[in-house]
């Protein structure tokens, strides 16, 4: 139907007849000569419909409107002097049309394509139109390229692509499962996989040395700007490996992807421990594009005359007093602003937020009266303060201070507009705790199949269960966890110990994970792997504000598809086949 894509028509084709096809981006009538910008999935090229060249084509062009689908044939010519468009790849030429056909008409558009002010729900309702923009096409071309590079890199490293089941057993991994009722097995349900975790481990037991898959995953959880109920991950597993082996493969994959897409990133990435990340940045996914970091002050505050701080400082294991220096902050923020920052941290549970200002005659601030001259000097030295600097500090229980001071760090960086654009800062976070305790319950920080760090005798030993480390690692990019993994448990007795520490009784373990425990008895090799969140990765690479921008047909934050009206009510006959009845809940009563 066409001889060329719009983007391929150039000055080399001047004098040649070409045929292009696409959508009408705009139409202009200049004194009887009609100019049409036609766009395909690549680019725009200008058509000229002059009655002196073709009366038939001109007559058809008179009735053409925006977003009509057309095919046009004509001769390429150079644009007139001063009429070139440097903003277009095809800006030096135009096509003088001698034949044009309308393949389909279009209703008036419900919104102007590319208008960022249009309500998102309207754009999602007409997602097929929203995707018609050059911006969307650029995103999905990049996404396709990333997938191709990832496949090629993993293939070159000897990995085999294997698909794992979508209909599987419910084995919750932290979020709720999406359940699918079985028509054949009355009262029983499949689950959509939250990840291919267990199947890829079974593939290692099967002797598949290196596996990968670009996998769909499903989690019924509360949604945020960077989360969707269904998402895609680049999933990798390998046998006879240690942490270093897995991290090298991940670095090779990511550097190939980024450099292959025109970005300059290093071949290897920096590393910090989980504890260092929390102590310095208040987050296990720190954004290292800017330098703000926290300093421990608990020993200095232990000597102050303020009873609250002194009491907090008594237990340096459970509590923290952290300082966050803002260079030249005295000239950036007013006193009123600095006092107002307290309201920001209070919404995350902070009791308050203190600050000192570095003046010519020393530290100033509401709390300096509680410190001796020696301790004020110690604060200056510890925080490396210079004239005009401001240092904020927070105090309380360890996890609380980490959380609100980490959030405050991000808040300050945005307030000061110091986060550089078009820069990628990767960092590995390693040595994660194996467990966390919440409300008296022990939970796996990653998942229960992660190998704990064993002692020299290959045993699990600890004094405080929250201090037992795992052989787990996350890869962080610009403050987002884009992936992670671990070395897996490959011995049945260790896996049973972990289930026991998590409060999973033998009967429950056998019922949910019996197939895995059985497999571990048959010579499971040491193995490990990782998974990269493809959607989140593309979001960062394209500078998109929401993960919905990089998924062709995404769900809303209420997990709905406005385009297809999913989820929806099904008819009684379908429910009868499944032997299901709908139970009314309070939220159904209006």
Cα separation, 74 vs 115, in Å, equals 32
Q: Is the pLDDT of residue 339 over 90?
A: no
* 100: enclosing H helix or E strand: strand 93-104
Please, what is the end-to-end C-alpha distance for the chain in angstroms? 55
Please compute the mean of the pLDDT values over residues 46-75 and round it to a whole number: 97
Mean pLDDT of the chain: 95
Burial of residue 572, with CB atoms counted within 10 A of its CB: 0-12 exposed, 13-18 middle, 19 or more buried: exposed
pLDDT confidence band for 145 (50 / 70 / 90) = very high
CATH architecture designation of domain 6-104: Beta Barrel (2.40)
- Of all residues in the chain, the percent with pLDDT exceeding 70 is 98
Burial of residue 215, with CB atoms counted within 10 A of its CB: 0-12 exposed, 13-18 middle, 19 or more buried: buried
Supply the DSSP string of 175-205, one letter for each residue.
Answer: SBPEEEE-SSSTT-EEEE-S-SHHHHHHHHH
Please compute the mean of the pLDDT values over residues 346-354 and round it to a whole number: 95
Peptide bond into 567 cis (omega under 30): yes
Cα separation, 352 vs 286, in Å, equals 23
Q: Identify the pLDDT of residue 590.
A: 45
Is residue 534 marked as binding? yes
Query: Cα dist. 429→28, 479, 486, 496 in Å?
Result: 56, 12, 12, 27
Q: Identify the pLDDT of residue 225.
A: 62
Cα separation, 233 vs 220, in Å, equals 16
Q: Identify the pLDDT of residue 588.
A: 58
Please compute the mean of the pLDDT values over residues 26-52 and round it to a whole number: 95
Instruction: Give the contacts of 180 (CB within 8 A, at least 6 positions apart).
Output: 167, 189, 190, 191, 192
**CA–CA–CA angle 507, 512, 515 (5° rounding):** 100
Is residue 535 marked as binding? yes
Instruction: Give the contacts of 398 (CB within 8 A, at least 6 positions apart).
Output: 317, 318, 319, 320
Displacement of CA 164 from its chain's centroid (Å): 23
Is residue 151 marked as binding? no
Is residue 577 marked as binding? no
Q: Is the pLDDT of residue 116 over 80?
A: yes
pLDDT digits (tens, 9 = 90+) for 152-202: 999 999 999 999 999 999 986 568 999 999 999 999 999 999 999 999 999
Domain residue limits, the chain: 6-104, 137-272+427-550, 290-419
- Of all residues in the chain, the percent with pLDDT exceeding 90 is 92
Cα separation, 137 vs 43, in Å, equals 10
Q: Is the pLDDT of residue 589 over 60?
A: no
Phi then psi for 175, rounded to 5 degrees? -110, 170
Q: What is 137-272+427-550's CATH number?
A: 3.30.930.10
Q: Identify the pLDDT of residue 31.
A: 84
* 298: enclosing H helix or E strand: helix 298-301
pLDDT confidence band for 42 (50 / 70 / 90) = confident
Query: Cα dist. 212→216, 247, 263, 363 in Å?
Result: 13, 15, 24, 57
Which tops the pLDDT comparison, 223 or 445?
445
Is residue 220 marked as binding? yes
Strand duo 319-326 + 189-192: pairing: unpaired
Is residue 12 marked as binding? no
Q: Let me know: does 243 contact 568? Beta carbons within 8 Å.
A: no
Q: Identify the pLDDT of residue 438.
A: 87
Supply the DSSP string of 5-41, one letter for each residue.
Answer: -GGG--GGGTT-EEEEEEEEEEEEEETTEEEEEEE-S
Is residue 53 marked as binding? no
Q: Identify the pLDDT of residue 41.
A: 86
pLDDT digits (tens, 9 = 90+) for 416-462: 999 998 899 999 999 999 999 988 899 999 999 999 999 999 999 99
Burial of residue 12, with CB atoms counted within 10 A of its CB: 0-12 exposed, 13-18 middle, 19 or more buried: exposed
Is residue 533 marked as binding? yes
Q: Let me know: does 472 contact 486? Beta carbons within 8 Å.
A: yes
Helix boundaries (H) for 333-397: 335-346, 373-383
Cα separation, 484 vs 482, in Å, equals 7
3-class DSSP assignment, residue 324: strand
Is residue 271 marked as binding? no
pLDDT digits (tens, 9 = 90+) for 510-569: 999 999 999 999 999 999 999 999 999 999 999 998 999 999 999 998 999 999 999 999
Cα Dmax for the chain: 93
| The pair of three-digit structure tokens given for residue 55, joined into one six-digit string | 């009366």
Is residue 574 marked as binding? no
Superfamily assignment of 290-419 in CATH?
A: GAD-like domain (3.30.1360.30)
């Amino acid at each position: 139907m066409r001889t060329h894509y719009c983007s391929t028509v150039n000055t080399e084709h001047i004098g040649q007849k070409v045929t292009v096809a696409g959508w009408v981006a705009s139409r202009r009538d200049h004194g009887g000569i009609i100019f049409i910008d036609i766009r395909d999935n690549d680019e725009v090229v200008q058509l000229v419909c002059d009655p002196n060249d073709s009366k038939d084509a001109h007559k058809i062009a008179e009735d053409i409107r925006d977003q009509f689908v057309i095919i046009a044939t004509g001769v390429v010519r150079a644009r007139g002097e001063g009429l070139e468009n440097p903003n277009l790849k095809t800006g030096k030429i135009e096509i003088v049309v001698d034949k044009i056909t309308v393949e389909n008409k279009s209703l008036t558009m419900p919104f102007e394509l590319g208008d960022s002010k249009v309500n998102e729900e309207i754009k999602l309702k007409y997602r097929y139109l929203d995707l018609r923009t050059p911006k969307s096409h650029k995103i999905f071309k990049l996404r396709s390229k990333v997938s191709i590079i990832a496949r090629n890199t993993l293939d070159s490293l000897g990995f085999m692509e294997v698909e794992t089941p979508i209909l599987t057993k419910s084995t919750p991994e932290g979020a709720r499962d999406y359940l699918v009722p079985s028509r054949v097995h009355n009262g029983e349900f499949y689950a959509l996989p939250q990840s291919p975790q267990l199947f890829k481990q079974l593939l290692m037991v099967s002797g598949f040395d290196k596996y990968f898959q670009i996998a769909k995953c499903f989690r019924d959880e509360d949604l945020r700007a960077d989360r969707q109920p269904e998402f895609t991950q680049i999933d990798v597993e390998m046998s006879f490996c240690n942490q270093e082996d897995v991290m090298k493969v991940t670095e090779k994959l990511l550097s190939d992807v980024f450099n292959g897409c025109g970005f300059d990133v290093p071949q290897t990435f920096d590393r910090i421990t989980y504890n260092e990340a929390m102590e310095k940045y208040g987050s296990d996914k720190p954004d290292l594009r800017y330098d703000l970091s926290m300093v421990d002050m608990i020993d200095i505050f232990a000597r102050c005359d303020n009873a609250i701080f002194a009491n907090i400082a008594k237990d340096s294991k459970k509590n923290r007093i952290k300082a966050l220096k803002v260079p030249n902050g005295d000239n950036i923020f007013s006193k009123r602003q600095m006092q107002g920052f307290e309201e920001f941290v209070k919404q995350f549970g902070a009791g308050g937020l203190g600050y000192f200002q570095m003046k010519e005659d020393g530290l100033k601030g509401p709390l300096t009266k509680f410190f001796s001259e020696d301790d004020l000097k110690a604060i200056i030295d510890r925080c490396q303060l210079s004239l005009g600097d401001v240092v904020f500090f927070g105090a309380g229980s360890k996890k609380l201070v980490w959380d609100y001071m980490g959030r405050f760090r991000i808040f300050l960086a945005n307030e000061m507009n110091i986060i550089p654009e078009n820069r990628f800062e990767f960092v590995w976070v390693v040595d994660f705790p194996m467990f966390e305790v919440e409300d008296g319950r022990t939970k796996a920080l990653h998942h229960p199949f992660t190998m704990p760090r064993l002692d020299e005798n290959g045993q699990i030993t600890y004094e405080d269960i929250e201090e037992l480390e795992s052989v787990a690692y996350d890869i962080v990019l610009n403050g987002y966890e884009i992936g992670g993994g671990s070395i897996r448990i490959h011995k049945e007795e260790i896996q049973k110990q972990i289930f026991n520490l998590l409060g999973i009784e033998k009967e429950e373990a056998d019922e949910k994970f019996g197939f895995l425990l059985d497999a571990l008895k048959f010579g499971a090799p040491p193995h490990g792997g990782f998974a990269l969140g493809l959607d989140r990765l593309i979001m960062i690479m394209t500078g998109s504000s929401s993960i919905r921008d990089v998924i062709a047909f995404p769900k809303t934050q209420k997990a709905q598809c406005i385009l297809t009206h999913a989820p929806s009510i099904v008819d009684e006959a379908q429910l009868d086949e499944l032997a299901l009845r709908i139970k009314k809940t309070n939220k159904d009563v209006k």
